[in-house]
Structure 1
Amino acid sequence: MKSLKLFSLVLFAILLSACASQPKSAYKPATNAGFGYKEIALANNLYRVEFKISGNAKRANDYALLRAADITTNEGFDWFQVLKRDSFTGPEEKFGARDIGSRQLVTRRCGLLTCRDEVQSLSGSTMDDMGKVEDTTAVLEIKLGKGVRPALDNTYDAYETSEKLRAQYSLK
């Protein structure tokens, strides 16, 4: 009986850790941590689209384009033009890590019953060497349009763009 309880506890811990280690970068609305997409309507046919992802700048830009295509079709338009495109990349500390002054990094690692702190000296280390993860936020300002797509730079057919990117990333 004790071994069954222990087995159940271990299995629960494994399942819980598997859920916690899922990637932050799936195509979904932004969470409290900011990962995912968000948009704001600037006017009837103008939107600002942001997509934040952990570690992959190309995917962040592609997912921002996919969100732009989704907004376009959801609003009853056929195409969109990217008026402005920005991308921001920077380090984000892993969960439980905190910077103590400029000499050491303390990372708290917690198991089922206890926690322990690991201290790393910062001398001679770069941010990436200390467990930092690069996050990318892709930002687009788009103008939506109907009918025949104009022959302008940075215009996209919303249906074709959505279909291509969903197939490329195996999204439904």
Structure 2
Amino acid sequence: MNKLLMIFIAMSLGACATVGPSAYGPADKDGFGYEETRIESDRYRITYAGSGDMPPELVEDYALLRASELALANGYDWFRIVGRDVAGEQRGGVGVGAGFGTGSYGRRSSVGVGVGGDLGTIGGRNYFTVRMEVLLGRGAPPDDGQYYDAREIQGTIGARAGG
């Protein structure tokens, strides 16, 4: 019983360890990073897959940063998100459960009582992916305010990403 408790504690402490967020950039060999597909001359589909140490807000910021880079590289000033999806999944980890009970042995019989429970997953990591479709624009932005200024995104999110 003590050995089981020690294993549980070690796994719990391991699950608390964190690693800093991954660097911004194109998709690596494991698929983490950005990818884009040009749909029309002024429309892109951008996907940013975050590694297991990236919160969903950072993954979304990096997708916005890629949209701003595409806008500026193609001579546009602003962009509008016309479709967005944020998906998350947990990978890895160990499922942990506990159970207790009684039984009967030999010639004696007894009533069995059992208690069980699921303690969840220990050591799993959350991975988030943002997919967005953006429409790029030049000149004066739309009056409805539903746009992002590409240069401002470069100045704020780009500065935090080290770009």
Q: Same fold (TM over 0.5)?
A: yes
Instruction: Please report the RMSD computed on the Cα atoms of aligned residues, expressed in angstroms.
Output: 2.2
Equivalent residue for 1:63? 62
Taking the aligned partners of 1:91 and 1:36, their CA distance within structure 2 comes to: 18
Equivalent residue for 2:149? 157
Matches within 5 A, 1:118-133: 124-127=118-121, 129=122, 131-133=123-125
Equivalent residue for 1:80? 79
TM-fit CA distance, 1:81 = 0.5
Selected match of 2:137 from 124, 127, 145: 145
Selected match of 1:32 from 17, 26, 29: 29
Taking the aligned partners of 2:48 and 2:60, their CA distance within structure 1 comes to: 7
Instruction: Give the SS at the match of 1:151.
Output: coil
Instruction: Give the SS at the match of 1:125.
Output: strand
Question: Rg larger in 1 or in 2?
Answer: 2
Equivalent residue for 2:38? 41
**Unpaired runs of 5+ in structure 2?**
1-17, 99-117
1:34-62 per-position Cα deviation (integer Å, ceiling 9, x unaligned): 11111111111110111111231010111
Taking the aligned partners of 1:140 and 1:75, their CA distance within structure 2 comes to: 18
Contact 2:59 2:130 in 1 (8 A): yes
**Unpaired runs of 5+ in structure 1?**
1-20, 95-104, 106-119
Contact 1:72 1:78 in 2 (8 A): yes
TM-fit CA distance, 1:121 = 5.2
Q: Identity over the aligned pairs, expressed in percent?
A: 30
Equivalent residue for 1:52? 49
1:128-159 per-position Cα deviation (integer Å, ceiling 9, x unaligned): x2x21000111111001111111234301111
TM-score w.r.t. length of structure 1: 0.65
- Any runs of at least 4 consecutive aligned residues in structure 1 with deviations exceeding 6 A, and if so which? none
Amino acid at match of 2:162: L
Taking the aligned partners of 1:144 and 1:85, their CA distance within structure 2 comes to: 15
Amino acid at match of 2:46: V
TM-score w.r.t. length of structure 2: 0.68
Instruction: Give the SS at the match of 1:90.
Output: strand
Instruction: Give the SS at the match of 1:71.
Output: helix
Contact 1:24 1:35 in 2 (8 A): no
Equivalent residue for 1:171? 162
